[in-house]
């Protein structure tokens, strides 16, 4: 097994997803198959190959420090489930 | 048993760019809620962040000023966590390949010098601001701060006391302000600090279990929070218990650190390279270009002040603590050509007076040239040092020049020996008892006579001359 049921539960919790027992079983098996398939990549010798950090071979894509227009607050808040005085309202979470 | 504290600090400094790190929204502080946001900093699907070049320039300045190695290749990574102040569900930061590593700053502690190592400096975006409703179980989110550029400066665990921690923070802040890349305002949150703290038996090499302290919004808070947490950990160990690795919040009102529950999973950030941003490559040419722009930094300035102006190290340290103050002092010196006097007047009278009004040197009502003029009036003997203080106060209150005040109030020092001798005669005549006692050997009374002279002349008599005249007249 490449991944345990416990690990799947942990990742689900980090993603704020909740699953039934059956779903947990199903996803653990599926993730396991995916990871086993990806394991194939380990057959290639990558000893002298630099890791790829980006699919494009570009570096230093930069912009000048110039201020441009922002959105009007009513558009910013147009998808907000709840708002008050131009602010998003969310359930209280104290970290 | 004797214990020693081991402290490492993580400092977040907001960079003074005009626009945000990955979009062109303004970074201006105090704007109406959600007025400086766009699809990029809101994390809308399909948008593409583009790095602000000035952020890299500013971060490189700090890296060079703190003797870090700038990496030729650095990468942005996503730090994944869910929290309402983070619209994308991840913060763009740097992880595996930070901008710079392995530097140090020097602090002055108990008269000695100590180096505090820096592990890394990396670039990242700030999160939004949450305001918690005091009555209802809701929070309000303002995303204006989302995407404001930050550098995070991570120290080595080289700090051994709350005092060292504060000295280190003050040094970092001073360098950032000299570089003009961060305003260093702890109350407004443009300069923030978290601390990792543990204790161990003195002499032990092994680290103890650490806690992470948050919510310290001033140097005073940092000092008190660390002192409290060190004591708390020592008493836990003394009672045979173990320190729990956790995040604790400083509660300034109660003067304690409190455990923050429910954050156990938060440290699982699943960093990975951000596919929206290409790597940053920095060659030696770019580094040299930035190095050329570095100003004289606090340590260098301090050394120069000691050498050039023959100031004691303490005075040089105070006078170079901010660029503005150092600049003010040097302007006073060039106006009066007397570094010692300039240092005395700036350090005691001026800083004392500004402190009284809770004012900064930038809000000083006396121009450095005007203070230099006052000092010259004293060194030339036009007025006495004592009168100088009265004139100073008037200058501070009214903004008038020293010469004007001296002229208007007739404060010019009396240096005419004949005039002073006459007054001295009269004083001796009206105080025969004291004159008798003085002649009988009670020489302490000289001060009394000079005091009478000052009263008589409203402080305008030249004190050295008054001394000399009384000594002569009362001899034998």
User: Residue A33 has what pLDDT?
Assistant: 95
Taking the C-alpha atoms of residue B10 and residue B90, their distance in angstroms, rounded to an integer, is: 20
DSSP code of residue B461: B
With 70 as the cut, is the pLDDT of residue B476 above it? no
- Mean pLDDT of the B420-446 span: 86
Of B392, B374, B370, the residue nearest B382 (C-alpha): B374
Domain boundary among B289, B314, B332: B289
Considering the domain architecture, whether residues B305 and B349 belong to the same structural domain is answered as yes
Q: How many residues does chain A have?
A: 95
- Mean pLDDT of the B154-176 span: 96
User: Residue B170 has what pLDDT?
Assistant: 95
- Indicate the SS3 state at residue B365: coil
Of the partner residues A67, A73, A76, the one whose CB lies closest to the CB of residue B26: A67
Min Cα distance B172 → chain A (Å) is 24
Inter-chain residue contact B278 with A13, CB threshold 8 Å: no
Bigger pLDDT: B382 vs B125: B125
Of B219, B131, B118, the residue nearest B167 (C-alpha): B219
Considering the domain architecture, whether residues B461 and B314 belong to the same structural domain is answered as no
Of the partner residues B51, B97, B263, the one whose CB lies closest to the CB of residue A95: B263
Helix (H) or strand (E) holding B139: strand B138-142
- Mean pLDDT of the B64-77 span: 97
Taking the C-alpha atoms of residue B166 and residue B7, their distance in angstroms, rounded to an integer, is: 11
With 80 as the cut, is the pLDDT of residue B411 above it? no
Taking the C-alpha atoms of residue B391 and residue B399, their distance in angstroms, rounded to an integer, is: 11
C-alpha dist (Å) from residue B410 to B382, B394, B398, B404: 11, 14, 17, 10
Confidence of residue A72 (pLDDT cuts 50, 70, 90): very high
Inter-chain residue contact B80 with A14, CB threshold 8 Å: yes
Inter-chain residue contact B83 with A93, CB threshold 8 Å: yes
Q: What residues make up the domain containing B422?
A: 417-473
- Mean pLDDT of the B47-60 span: 97
> ipTM, 2 decimals?
0.90
User: Which residues of chain A neighbour B55 with C-beta distances below 8 Å?
Assistant: 65
**DSSP characters over A13-60:** HHTT----HHHHHHHHHHHHHHHHHHGGGGGS--TT-PPPS-SS----
Confidence of residue B167 (pLDDT cuts 50, 70, 90): very high
pLDDT digits 0-9 by tens, B335-354: 999 999 999 999 989 999 99
Taking the C-alpha atoms of residue B33 and residue B19, their distance in angstroms, rounded to an integer, is: 17
User: Residue B262 has what pLDDT?
Assistant: 54
Considering the domain architecture, whether residues B17 and B153 belong to the same structural domain is answered as yes
pLDDT digits 0-9 by tens, B350-367: 999 999 998 989 999 999
With 90 as the cut, is the pLDDT of residue B281 above it? yes
- Mean pLDDT of the B297-305 span: 94
Residues 28-67 of A with CB under 8 A from B: 53-56, 58-67
Q: Cβ contacts of residue B41 below 8 Å, gap of 6+? A: B20, B22, B23, B25, B87, B125, B143, B146, B147
User: Which residues of chain B neighbour A58 with C-beta distances below 8 Å?
Assistant: 278
Q: Cβ contacts of residue B195 below 8 Å, gap of 6+? A: B7, B8, B9, B10, B165, B212, B213, B216, B222, B225, B226, B229
User: Residue B64 has what pLDDT?
Assistant: 98
Considering the domain architecture, whether residues B99 and B203 belong to the same structural domain is answered as yes
Structure tokens at B105: 């700053």
**DSSP characters over B196-223:** EEEEEETT--S----EEEEEE-SHHHHH
**DSSP characters over B19-55:** B-SSS--B--TTPSTTSS--HHHHT-TT----EEHHH
Taking the C-alpha atoms of residue A67 and residue A73, their distance in angstroms, rounded to an integer, is: 17
Structure tokens at A66: 């110039």
Considering the domain architecture, whether residues B277 and B373 belong to the same structural domain is answered as no
Of the partner residues A56, A63, A89, the one whose CB lies closest to the CB of residue B50: A63
pLDDT digits 0-9 by tens, B177-198: 999 999 999 988 999 999 999 9
φ/ψ of B106, rounded to 5, equals: -105, 135
Burial of B164 (0-12, 13-18, 19+ CB in 10 A): buried
Domains of chain A: 5-43 (1.10.20)
How many domains does the structure of chain B reveal?
3
Taking the C-alpha atoms of residue B188 and residue B213, their distance in angstroms, rounded to an integer, is: 19
User: Which residues of chain B neighbour A89 with C-beta distances below 8 Å?
Assistant: 138-141
Inter-chain residue contact A68 with B37, CB threshold 8 Å: no
Taking the C-alpha atoms of residue B150 and residue A66, their distance in angstroms, rounded to an integer, is: 17
Considering the domain architecture, whether residues B189 and B110 belong to the same structural domain is answered as yes
User: Which residues of chain A neighbour B42 with C-beta distances below 8 Å?
Assistant: 71, 76
Residues 62-91 of A with CB under 8 A from B: 62-71, 73, 76-77, 84-91
Bigger pLDDT: B173 vs B447: B173
Considering the domain architecture, whether residues B184 and B241 belong to the same structural domain is answered as yes
Considering the domain architecture, whether residues B270 and B243 belong to the same structural domain is answered as yes
User: Which residues of chain A neighbour B17 with C-beta distances below 8 Å?
Assistant: 65
Considering the domain architecture, whether residues B318 and B395 belong to the same structural domain is answered as yes
Residue B475, number of CB atoms within 10 A of its CB = 8
Mutation for testing the B interface, residue in A8, A16, A52, A53 having most B CBs under 10 Å: A53
Cross-strand pairs, B12 = B152, B192
Domain boundary among B289, B323, B341: B289
Considering the domain architecture, whether residues B202 and B312 belong to the same structural domain is answered as no
Taking the C-alpha atoms of residue B290 and residue B270, their distance in angstroms, rounded to an integer, is: 33
Task: Give me chain B's average pLDDT, please.
Answer: 91
pLDDT digits 0-9 by tens, A20-61: 999 999 999 999 999 999 999 989 999 898 888 888 889 999
Long-range CB pairs of B453-460, under 8 A, 24+ apart, other chains included: B453/B420, B453/B423, B453/B424, B453/B427, B454/B386, B456/B423, B456/B427, B457/B414, B457/B420, B457/B423, B459/B384, B459/B386, B459/B387, B459/B390, B459/B411, B460/B383, B460/B384, B460/B387, B460/B410, B460/B411, B460/B412, B460/B413, B460/B414
User: Residue B458 has what pLDDT?
Assistant: 79
φ/ψ of B138, rounded to 5, equals: -130, 160
Taking the C-alpha atoms of residue A69 and residue B36, their distance in angstroms, rounded to an integer, is: 8
Instruction: Evaluate whether B209 touches B243 at the Cβ level (below 8 Å).
Output: yes
With 60 as the cut, is the pLDDT of residue B213 above it? yes
- Mean pLDDT of the B20-35 span: 95
With 70 as the cut, is the pLDDT of residue B266 above it? no
Cα B369 to the chain's mean position, in Å? 25
User: Residue B385 has what pLDDT?
Assistant: 82
With 70 as the cut, is the pLDDT of residue B264 above it? no
Inter-chain residue contact A73 with B268, CB threshold 8 Å: no
Considering the domain architecture, whether residues B467 and B378 belong to the same structural domain is answered as no
Domain boundary among B409, B438, B461: B409
User: Residue B420 has what pLDDT?
Assistant: 83
Reported in sequence order, the residue ranges of B245-355 that DSSP labels E, i.e. its strands, are: 247-251, 256-259, 272-273, 280-281
User: Residue A94 has what pLDDT?
Assistant: 66
User: Residue B366 has what pLDDT?
Assistant: 92
Considering the domain architecture, whether residues B437 and B323 belong to the same structural domain is answered as no
Confidence of residue B261 (pLDDT cuts 50, 70, 90): low
Instruction: Evaluate whether B251 touches B260 at the Cβ level (below 8 Å).
Output: no
CATH number of the domain encompassing residue B447:
1.10.10.410
User: Residue B456 has what pLDDT?
Assistant: 82
Taking the C-alpha atoms of residue A40 and residue A23, their distance in angstroms, rounded to an integer, is: 26
Of the partner residues B25, B50, B277, the one whose CB lies closest to the CB of residue A70: B25
Taking the C-alpha atoms of residue B295 and residue B302, their distance in angstroms, rounded to an integer, is: 13
Inter-chain residue contact B278 with A58, CB threshold 8 Å: yes
User: Residue B278 has what pLDDT?
Assistant: 95
Q: Cβ contacts of residue B209 below 8 Å, gap of 6+? A: B198, B242, B243, B244, B245
Q: Cβ contacts of residue B74 below 8 Å, gap of 6+? A: B94, B97, B98, B99, B122, B279, B280, B282
- Mean pLDDT of the B134-138 span: 91
Strands B247-251 and B3-14: unpaired
C-alpha dist (Å) from residue A16 to A13, B44, B123, B263, B265: 5, 20, 28, 14, 12
φ/ψ of B12, rounded to 5, equals: -110, 125
Taking the C-alpha atoms of residue B367 and residue B373, their distance in angstroms, rounded to an integer, is: 10
- Mean pLDDT of the B199-221 span: 92
User: How many CA atoms, within 13 angstroms, populate the side-chain half-sphere of residue B153?
Assistant: 32
Structure tokens at B385: 């040092």
- Indicate the SS3 state at residue B299: helix
């Amino acid at each position: 097994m490449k991944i345990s049921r416990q690990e799947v539960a942990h990742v689900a919790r980090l993603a704020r997803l909740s699953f039934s027992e059956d779903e947990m079983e199903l996803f653990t098996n599926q993730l396991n198959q995916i990871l086993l398939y990806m394991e194939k990549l380990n057959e290639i010798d990558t000893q002298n190959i630099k890791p790829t950090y980006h699919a494009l071979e570009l570096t230093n894509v930069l912009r000048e420090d110039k201020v441009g227009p922002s959105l009007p607050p009513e558009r910013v808040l147009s998808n907000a489930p709840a708002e008050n005085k131009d602010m998003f309202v969310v359930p209280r979470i104290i970290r | 048993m004797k214990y020693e504290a081991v402290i490492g600090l993580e400092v977040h400094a907001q960079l003074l760019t005009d626009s945000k790190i990955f979009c062109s929204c303004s970074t201006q502080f105090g704007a109406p809620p959600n007025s400086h946001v766009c699809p990029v900093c809101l994390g809308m699907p399909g948008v593409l962040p583009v790095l602000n070049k000035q952020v890299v320039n500013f971060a490189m300045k700090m890296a060079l000023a703190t003797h870090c190695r700038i990496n030729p290749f650095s990468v942005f990574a996503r730090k994944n966590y869910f929290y309402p102040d983070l619209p994308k569900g991840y913060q763009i930061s740097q992880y595996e390949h930070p901008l710079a590593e392995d530097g140090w700053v020097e602090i002055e502690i108990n008269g000695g010098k100590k180096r505090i190592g820096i592990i890394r400096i990396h670039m990242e975006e700030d999160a939004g601001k949450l305001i918690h409703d005091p009555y209802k179980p809701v929070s309000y989110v303002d995303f204006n701060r989302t995407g404001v550029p930050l550098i995070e400066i991570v120290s080595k665990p080289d700090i051994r006391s709350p005092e060292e921690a504060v000295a280190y923070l003050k040094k970092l802040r001073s360098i950032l302000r000299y570089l003009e890349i961060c305003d260093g305002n702890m109350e407004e949150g443009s300069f923030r600090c978290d601390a990792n703290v543990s204790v161990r038996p003195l002499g032990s090499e092994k680290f103890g279990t650490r806690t992470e302290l948050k919510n310290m919004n001033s140097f005073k808070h940092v000092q008190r929070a660390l002192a409290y947490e060190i004591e708390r950990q020592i008493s836990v160990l003394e009672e045979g218990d173990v320190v729990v690795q956790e995040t604790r919040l400083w509660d300034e009102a109660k003067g304690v650190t409190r455990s923050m529950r429910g954050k156990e999973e938060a440290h699982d950030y699943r960093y990975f390279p951000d596919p929206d941003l290409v790597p940053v490559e920095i060659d030696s040419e770019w580094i040299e270009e930035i190095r050329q722009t570095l100003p004289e930094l606090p340590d260098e300035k301090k050394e120069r002040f000691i050498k050039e102006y023959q100031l004691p190290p303490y005075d040089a340290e105070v006078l170079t603590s901010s660029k503005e103050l150092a600049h003010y002092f040097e302007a006073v010196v060039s106006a009066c050509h007397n570094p010692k006097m300039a240092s005395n007047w700036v350090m005691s009278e001026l800083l004392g007076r500004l402190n009284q009004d809770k004012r900064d040197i930038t809000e000083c009502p006396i121009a450095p040239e005007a203070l230099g003029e006052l000092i010259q009036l004293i060194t030339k003997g036009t007025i006495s040092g004592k009168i100088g203080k009265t004139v100073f106060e008037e200058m501070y209150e009214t903004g008038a020049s020293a010469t004007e005040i001296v002229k208007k109030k007739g404060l010019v020092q009396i240096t005419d020996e004949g005039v002073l001798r006459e007054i001295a005669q009269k004083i001796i005549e009206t105080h025969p008892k004291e004159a008798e006692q003085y002649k009988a050997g009670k020489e302490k009374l000289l001060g009394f006579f000079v005091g009478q002279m000052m009263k008589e002349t409203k402080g305008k008599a030249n004190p050295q001359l008054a001394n000399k005249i009384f000594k002569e007249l009362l001899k034998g």
